[in-house]
Structure 1
Amino acid sequence: MSEYFEVILRSIASFGLLLIGTRILGKQTISKMTMFDFVAAISLGAIAANIAFNTSIKSNHAALAFVVYIIIIFMMALISLKSRKGRKLFAGDPTIVIEKGKILDKNMKKMRYTLDYLNQQLREKDVFNIEEVLFAIIETNGTLTVLKKPQFRNVNRQDLMIPITPEFKLPIELIMDGEVIKENLEHNNLTELWLKMELNKRNLVQRDVLYAVLSANGNMYVNTYDNHIHSPIDKE
C-alpha cells in the first residue's frame, strides 16, 4: 500500500515540477516547436514520467535532473535571445522551397521533404494551384509560409481606397459566465453603473448575460443565457 501512496505523491510532485518548469520557460514551450523545443519537451516529459512511477530512481535525484534540464534550456533560450548565431545553432534556418514560382528540389531533398507534403501544406494555406505561389518557406518550426504572386493576393481596404475607422485597443471583456470583470472596467475607466445602463438599453440585467464584450470600435456584443434558439444544430 505504501508503494501506491508513494507513486501518487511522486505523480503529484512530477506534475507540479512540469507545470513550474513550463511556466519558467514560457509560452514558447507549448507553441509550435523548433527542433530544440522538441528535444527539450521530450526530455522534460521523460524525466517527469520517471519521477512519477519509477520508484527505483530516488525522487530527489530525478528532481535534480529535472532542475538541471530546466536550467540548461533556460540558458539556451537566453543565448538564443542575445545571439543570432545562437538562434541559428539551436533552431536552424528557414528553408526556401519555392522561389519566384520555381520549386527548389535540392532544398527539398536536403530536408527529405516530398512534393506530396508540399502540396498538402499549400492546400492548408488555401493554395490549390502552385502557379499562384511566388515564395514558399519552411520555417524552423516546420510550418509553411506562403507569399502569393501579386495578382493572386486578396484585395484589402487600402487597395480599394476605402476609408477605415482607426482602432487603438483590443476588445474588452465586460461579463463572462454572468460575472462582471471589474478589473477590465477599472483598467479602461469604465464603471459598473455605465455597464448597467448599457444593459438597460437592451432591456437586460446582469443575471441574463452569459458574455459581453466591448469591441475596439465601441460596439458592445451581448450574448444572453436564453438565446431563443430552440433547436440547436448540434443538439444531441
Structure 2
Amino acid sequence: MEDILKLDFWEMIIRTTMTFIVLLILARFMGKKQISQLTFFHYVTGITIGSIAADIAGESKMPFLDGLVAMVWWAVLTILTNYLAFKSKKARAFLDDKPTIIIREGKLMKKSMEKTRLHLNDLSMMLREQSIFSIKDVHYAILETNGQLSVMKKSDQEPATKKDVKAPAPPPKFIPTEIISDYKLIPENLEELNLTEEWLKEELIKQGIGHISQVFYAEVQSDGTLHVDMGEG
C-alpha cells in the first residue's frame, strides 16, 4: 500500500512538472496580452486550457498523453484563430465583436444598451470608476470588446483647461475614428462621419500621399483634421 502511495505521489509530481513546462511553452507561443485586453473569447480559452492542465496534473484517471494532446491542440486552435483574426477584419469582428457606442453626442443609445445588455446602473458605475459622476458630462462613451468603457468628456468638462480660463469650448466635430486600417479603407466609418472618399483623397494629397494603399493607419481627429501613420518598420 505504501509503495502504491509513493508511486502515485511521484506520478503526480512528474505529470505536474511536465504540464507546467508545456503550458509555459504554449503561453510563449500564444502571444502577449494584458488581462485588461482580453476579450471574452480569449478569457474563456485561457480558462479552458488552464482547466485541461489542472486535470492532467491532478487526475490520474486521465491518460497523460491524451490530456497533453488535448491541451496542445486547444492552444494551436487558439493560435490559428488569432492569426485568422489578424488577417481578416470579418473574422476579427466575428471572434471579438465590435466596439459599441453607448453614448453619442451626450445622448444615451438605448438600442445599443439593450444589445449589449448594459443597464443604466452598470453604466453609471463604469463612469464613476473614471471619476465621472454625471452622464451629462459625457460626449461619447464606447463599450470596448474587452468590456471596458472608453469615455470622451464634453469639452467644457476637461480638467483645468478651457472652462477654468473662460476660453471658448466648442463641441468636437467628430469622435476620433479610424478610416484606414492596415492599408485598407473602412467605408462604414467614413460614412458614419458623413465624409466621402473624395474628401479623404484630397486630405491625403495635402500631405503628399497619392493613394490610400500607401497609408497604414489614418484617423479623423475631433477637430476634423486627418492623422496619418505610414507604418514604419
Moved over 6 A (4+): none
In structure 2, the partner of 1:72 is 77
Amino acid at match of 1:148: K
In structure 2, the partner of 1:113 is 118
Q: TM-score, normalised by structure 1?
A: 0.63
Q: State how far apart, in whole Å, the 1-side matches of 2:64 and 2:35 are.
A: 26
Q: State how far apart, in whole Å, the 2-side matches of 1:66 and 1:148 are.
A: 45
Is the partner of 2:37 in helix, strand or coil? Answer: coil
**1:20-48, CA deviations, whole angstroms, 9 ceiling, x for partnerless residues?**
11111111274431021012111101111
Q: State how far apart, in whole Å, the 2-side matches of 1:73 and 1:28 are.
A: 13
Amino acid at match of 2:37: K
Amino acid at match of 1:139: E
- Given that residues 29 and 41 in structure 1 are in contact (C-alpha distance below 8 angstroms), is that contact kept between their aligned partners in structure 2? no
In structure 1, the partner of 2:225 is none
Q: TM-score, normalised by structure 2?
A: 0.64
Q: State how far apart, in whole Å, the 2-side matches of 1:98 and 1:15 are.
A: 45
Amino acid at match of 1:114: H
Larger Rg: 1
Q: Would you say 1:63 and 2:85 are equivalent positions?
A: no
Q: Would you say 1:44 and 2:49 are equivalent positions?
A: yes
In structure 2, the partner of 1:85 is 90
Is the partner of 1:134 in helix, strand or coil? Answer: strand
In structure 2, the partner of 1:103 is 108
Q: Residues 27 and 20 (structure 1 numbering): CA distance in 2 closer, same or farther, change over 3 Å?
A: same
**1:81-140, CA deviations, whole angstroms, 9 ceiling, x for partnerless residues?**
111111101100111111111111221122221111111110111111211101101000
Amino acid at match of 1:124: E
In structure 2, the partner of 1:18 is 23
- Gaps in structure 2 of 5+ consecutive residues: 1-5, 166-233
Q: Residues 117 and 147 (structure 1 numbering): CA distance in 2 closer, same or farther, change over 3 Å?
A: same
- Given that residues 101 and 143 in structure 2 are in contact (C-alpha distance below 8 angstroms), is that contact kept between their aligned partners in structure 1? yes
Matched pairs, number: 157
